[in-house]
Amino acid sequence: MSDDFLSKSVMELYAHAARNGEQVCVPDGYDMEFLATYIPQSVLQIAMGCGVPVGLGTVRLGETILDVGSGGGIDCFEASRLTGKDGLVIGVDMTDEMLEIARNSAATVATNLGYPQSNVEFRKGRAEKLPVDDQTIDLIISNCVINLAQDKQRVFQEMYRALKIGGRFTISDVVADTSVPNYLLNDQERWGACLSGAMYTRDYLRTIRGTGFVGVHQIGVAPWGMIDGVHFSALTVTGYKVAVPPSKPSNEEQFSGYAVLKGPFKWVIDEYDQTFVRGLWRSIDQKTLDLLHLDPFRPWFLFSKDVVSGKMLNDDDPELLRIIPEDKPCVWQGHFATMTSLFERAEDDDHHQFESGVPIEICSKTNAVLATPQYASFFHILNRSQQSVSGEAVSCSPNGECC
């Protein structure tokens, strides 16, 4: 399908939904009773998305928020409440009918919130060419919209352009556990239903990081559906735009201290292609220090100014995080694990090597390990079996031992 044909098809679908008060991709997690105290019903009845209210939990007073694919404006109006009367919220959508509903509701919402005037603007535009100036946005939110765009790389480039240094995004989208076949890519109806445009999780995360975002990590994930063996999930991720340092100074000037991986992984490779081994101190530069001090990284690292590079923490150090599976045979139950947070590659204590966005089959013992609080935030666990599995306990290692 051509870009123009796809855009027209999607606009017609959502215009029809706006005119008839219908929902296409139905979100979950909204407190509709509370939202109804200040948002008109005409907006609430066309709320769409594939995630809970996306990113709104991180809004700070006075910030400038951009909602990509704002629809009837539900997330914009909640962002308006959270950022306060001195903040600014910009909603961008390409469907005239959605924009009309949102604009007609803005004054009512402002009055209900006690604001002297609305702090929400709705602009017509596409995600691939956002109608906002460079480096003017603190937080970008988007709920089940980017999968509707054919040029997703361009969308992420536009998001990167719009964000201030230190800004962040939180977006929810439908992703797939493998590449979507061509016959689905050309299925007009399933594009509009947020399925055919879904990217393979690996490619989705690579595209985001390739744009320049760092600290990309999973906030939430849930199964979304399956078509012909392709499993779709609603994935919510956050990432950051950080300052790019000037041309490299001397090695001595670069040095900013030491860092050590606490775990739970045995080793990891970060978004700057640097390897960290659990318990092994290594020197880091300012760029890496800034990366590892982002909120999602800090729980997994320790920092020092005066240790020796290459020094190891003792194996029994209480700071180290290590989850060992039970010493018993395992059962294959159809579970697959996909690493969706922070690291490009990693290995656990059972010699499973994970690549960002790529599912690997895991046994019952590994599933139990990855479900622990230390690991859970890094993974999306999906069960591909179509019926209950009745296999017996087995040894799942080539040498006859169990992993």
Q: Parallel, antiparallel, or unpaired for β 353-355 and 345-347?
A: antiparallel
Q: How far is Cα 338 from Cα 356, in angstroms, rounded to an integer?
A: 7
- Residue by residue, DSSP assigns 46-68 as T---SSSS-SGGG--TT-EEEEE
Determine the CATH number of domain 324-403: 3.40.5.100
One pLDDT digit (tens) per residue for the chain, 403 residues: 445 545 555 555 554 454 555 555 556 678 889 999 999 998 988 777 777 777 888 999 999 999 999 999 999 999 999 999 999 999 999 989 999 999 999 999 999 999 999 999 999 999 999 999 999 999 999 998 898 888 999 999 999 999 999 999 999 999 999 998 888 777 766 655 667 788 999 999 999 999 999 999 999 998 888 888 899 999 999 999 998 766 555 555 577 899 999 999 999 999 999 999 999 999 999 999 999 999 999 999 999 998 877 889 998 899 999 999 988 888 888 999 999 999 999 999 999 999 999 999 999 999 999 999 999 999 999 998 866 666 566 655 544 455 5
Query: CB–CB of 73/106 below 8 Å?
Result: yes
pLDDT value at position 248? 59
Which CATH fold would you assign to the domain 251-304? Ribosomal Protein L9; domain 1 (3.40.5)
Neighbour tally for 292: CB within 10 Å: 23
**Same fold across 3-240 and 324-403:** no
The contacts of residue 41 (CB under 8 Å, 6+ apart) are: none
Cα(87)–Cα(107) distance, integer angstroms: 16
Residue that is written with structure tokens 């390990």 in the block: 369
Report pLDDT for 400: 44
Handedness of CA 161, 4, 191, 184 (dihedral sign): negative
> What does the pLDDT read at residue 26?
56
Distance CA 385, CA 389 (A): 7
- Dist CA 55 CA 43 (whole Å): 19
Q: What is the pLDDT of residue 180?
A: 85
- What is the per-residue pLDDT for 149? 87
What's the CATH fold of domain 3-240? Rossmann fold (3.40.50)
For residues 127-149, one letter each, b for 16 or more C-beta atoms within 10 angstroms of the residue's C-beta and e for the rest, the string is: bbebebeeeebbbbbbbbbbbbb
pLDDT at position 191 is 59
* Sequence ranges of the domains in the chain: 3-240, 251-304, 324-403
Closest CA to 309 of 250, 256, 262: 256
Which one, of 93, 57, 51, lies nearest residue 168 by Cα?
A: 57
Task: Determine the straight-line distance between the first and last CA of the chain, rounded to whole angstroms.
Answer: 46
pLDDT at 15: 45
